Amino acid sequence: MSHNYISELQTSVLLPLSNLRILILSHNSIQHLDLSVFEFNQELEYLDVSHNKLGSLSCHPTVNLKHLDLSFNAFDALPICKEFGNMLQLKFLGLSASQLQKSSMLPIAHLNISKLLLVLGETYGKKEDPGSLQGINTESLHIVFPTEKEFHYILDVSVSTIESLELSNIKCVLDDNQCSHFLHVLSKLQRNPRLSNLSLNNIETTWNSFMKILQSIWNTTIEYFSISNVKLQGQLDFTDFNYFDTSLKTLSIQQVVSDVFNFPQSKIYKIFSNMNIQNFTVSGTRMIHMLCPSQISPFLYLDFSNNLLTDTVFENCRSLTKLKTFILRINQLKKLTNIVHMTKEMKSLQQLDISQNSIRYDDNEEVCFWTKSLLNLNMSSNVLTDSVFSCLPPKIKILDLHKNRIQSIPKGVLQLESLQELNIAFNSLADLPGCGTFSSLSVLILDHNVVSHPSADFFQSCQKIRSLKAGNNPFQCTCELREFIKNIGQVPRGVVEDWPDSYKCDYPESYKGTPLKDFHPSQLSCNTALLIVTVGATMLLLTVTMTLLCIYLDLPWYLRMVFQWTQTRRRARNLPLEELQRTLQFHAFISYSGHDSAWVKNELVPNLEKEDVRICLHERNFVPGKSIVENIVNCIEKSYKSIFVLTPNFVQSEWCHYELYFAHHNLFHAGSDNLILILLEPIPQYSIPSSYHKLKSLMARRTYLEWPKEKSKRGLFWVNLRAAINIKLMERATEVSHTSNYSHPSS
């Protein structure tokens, strides 16, 4: 609950929080803290009330914390209660005070505190007890002196138990003795042989005092020395630096600002370059150059990041043969060939970081001869293109090229058989690189490129891959991606990092945003051969089905009849209008099989014609010279009714079928009920051919006259039949006599 307006803590608020372990209340407005409010929070381990307005503290014996921060408050004396002595688990203690007394530390003297933070108030120094810290027992001590005050303190910080010391807010710019008070404090550190780590933060002093501070630390037991956030002024007159008799291994100087730079900077570079230590960092200092050590240097680690160094740094330098790690991140480096030349004599160099510069390399530049020892190379955030792959160390194991301008990995580049990790994220690669050139590749980072169709055989090519990061690419979810997705499912879990959250379709629009794991195109849509076979088989099956159906429904026969009907109608349209005038000439047209002609001529025709019924028969009314179909159509159209004599012989006659078909067609064409069915003999359903499905339909839904076998019932039969065809016709048209003995084809 930091950065709020809390002014007090109440038990009623904290009482329900029985499981509370961590409570952060920094940057509020609390003026008094009563630890009894935590009486019912027995699990509380971490309490931070720093940066408040605390002036008083009430303790409680039940509180047993591991982390208690009371720093940056308004306490006058150290806020240490006797109850603090019961906090046996206390590892971090942050305190604030304007006055220090050795007796104030007694309640916690027996505690083994890992780190003690002591923030001195703005009025500190009026009454100062130099030995007030000697009673504490801690491994790490951080003292924050008052800000914007000249350092005139005599506090002895050489606590015998500390191994790490950090001092903040050191200002000595007005001292004529060049920071003598602070140098005196540092000189006492030699009395503590356990002290190995010293950090100085927020320092404002002169160049000469700065160099004297370095010199004073050089002859102590300190092994790791860090100086950060430094503001320097004045001239540098200090030139004789004594490098002998030092325990120092690591020196780090970071974030240095100088008001004046009107002295020869080579003095600084000379002092720095000849330091006899293993690890040296100069970062964020706007340093523009560094001299080559005058003799073989013990440097193992150099970090010159965030400066203004150019390609000329360490040019033709042969004294850095022991250097293993060299960091030149965020500088003004331009040409890769110059860097290759610079590091060529660094025979032990294994790790080089030249990221975040403006490095480029062109194909027409000289051949690259890197030092053979280089194993780890970081060239990220530069302006390198595909050509960089022809200028790489032959034994490189870890290569970082992310955030460059690489579009592809050219074929035929140098075989990097030792390369294990490759980072080419944030480039413009369109595909996953194979491992033919990188036979040992195990880690590949390729996210944020333009990979749309990754190669399906990537995992087969890269058998040693144990980590692939290729998310956030514009994947095109088409069939080409199907095998890649399938292969991801077959690799061990965890090999493809950020799967499936970072792997989504970008195209087509209908799939945009769809996770690749949910993209499942069918086998049929992605296999052209299978698609062709499937479509072909479907068409063949459809053709065979239609053929069989046509045969079953006698479609060829109907097509032939439709053709004949169409031809007849077309010829009829070409006749004069007076000949086309539709006039009924007959009461009925009789269709029958030749095998049933005896009954027709002896029974049917005589009984109808004696009542002046005009009958149309094929043997006497068909016009010679016309086609049979045309005669059938004409007779049906000129007859009021069409009578069909149904027997087993009828269904075996093809021409009878034609006549039935045309009569049924005329029924729909003329819009009248013109069919009369006479069942002369019973017809079993199984005996009706499949092509007579119209006859089956008609017999199923139409009433037919059945010829009675008993003579007593035949009178009613004739009455019904004559009633069905009874209509007054126009005057008899001139009949054409037929002298030829014409016979129906069905007979």
| 54 vs 731: which has the higher pLDDT | 54
DSSP state of 365: S
Q: What is the pLDDT of residue 640?
A: 82
Q: How far is CA 646 from CA 72, 640, 657, 674, 715, in A?
A: 119, 19, 11, 16, 20
Nearest-angstrom CA–CA distance, 702 and 697: 8
pLDDT digit string, tens, across residues 678-692: 888 887 776 677 666
Share of the chain above pLDDT 90, in %: 39
Q: What is the pLDDT of residue 536?
A: 83
Distant-in-sequence, close-in-space partners of 45: CB < 8 Å, separation ≥ 6: 21, 22, 65, 66, 67, 89
Confidence of residue 577 (pLDDT cuts 50, 70, 90): very low
| 239 vs 89: which has the higher pLDDT | 89
Mean pLDDT of 86-110: 90
CA 577 to chain centre: 79
- Residue ranges of alpha helices (H) inside 622-741 are 628-637, 648-651, 654-670, 693-701, 714-724
Give yes or no for a contact between 284 and 308, defined as CB atoms under 8 angstroms apart: no
Q: What is the pLDDT of residue 54?
A: 94
16-25, 250-259, 484-493: segment of lowest average pLDDT: 484-493
pLDDT greater than 50 at residue 575: no
Mean pLDDT of 490-508: 89
Mean pLDDT of 36-48: 92
Q: What is the pLDDT of residue 597?
A: 85
The single residue listed with the structure tokens 């032959």 is 394
Distant-in-sequence, close-in-space partners of 467: CB < 8 Å, separation ≥ 6: 442, 443, 444, 495, 497
Mean pLDDT of 253-278: 86
Q: What is the pLDDT of residue 734?
A: 38
Share of the chain above pLDDT 70, in %: 86
Mean pLDDT of 204-209: 90
Q: What is the pLDDT of residue 743?
A: 38
Mean pLDDT of 416-420: 89
Confidence of residue 630 (pLDDT cuts 50, 70, 90): confident
pLDDT digit string, tens, across residues 56-77: 999 888 778 999 999 999 999 9
Q: What is the pLDDT of residue 368?
A: 84
Q: Which of 514-518, 528-532, 622-626 has the highest mean pLDDT?
A: 514-518
Confidence of residue 414 (pLDDT cuts 50, 70, 90): low
25-34, 67-76, 535-544: segment of lowest average pLDDT: 535-544
Mean pLDDT of 532-544: 84
CA distance between the termini of the chain:
113
pLDDT digit string, tens, across residues 116-127: 999 999 988 888
90-94, 235-239, 302-306, 563-567: segment of lowest average pLDDT: 563-567
Mean pLDDT of 582-590: 79
744 phi, psi to nearest 5 deg: -65, 135
pLDDT greater than 70 at residue 283: yes
Both tokens assigned to 369 = 């001869």
Average pLDDT, the chain: 84
Q: What is the pLDDT of residue 103?
A: 84
Q: What is the pLDDT of residue 572?
A: 46
Mean pLDDT of 149-159: 88
690 phi, psi to nearest 5 deg: -65, -30
Mean pLDDT of 129-149: 89
Q: What is the pLDDT of residue 263?
A: 64
Q: What is the pLDDT of residue 280?
A: 96
Nearest-angstrom CA–CA distance, 647 and 682: 7
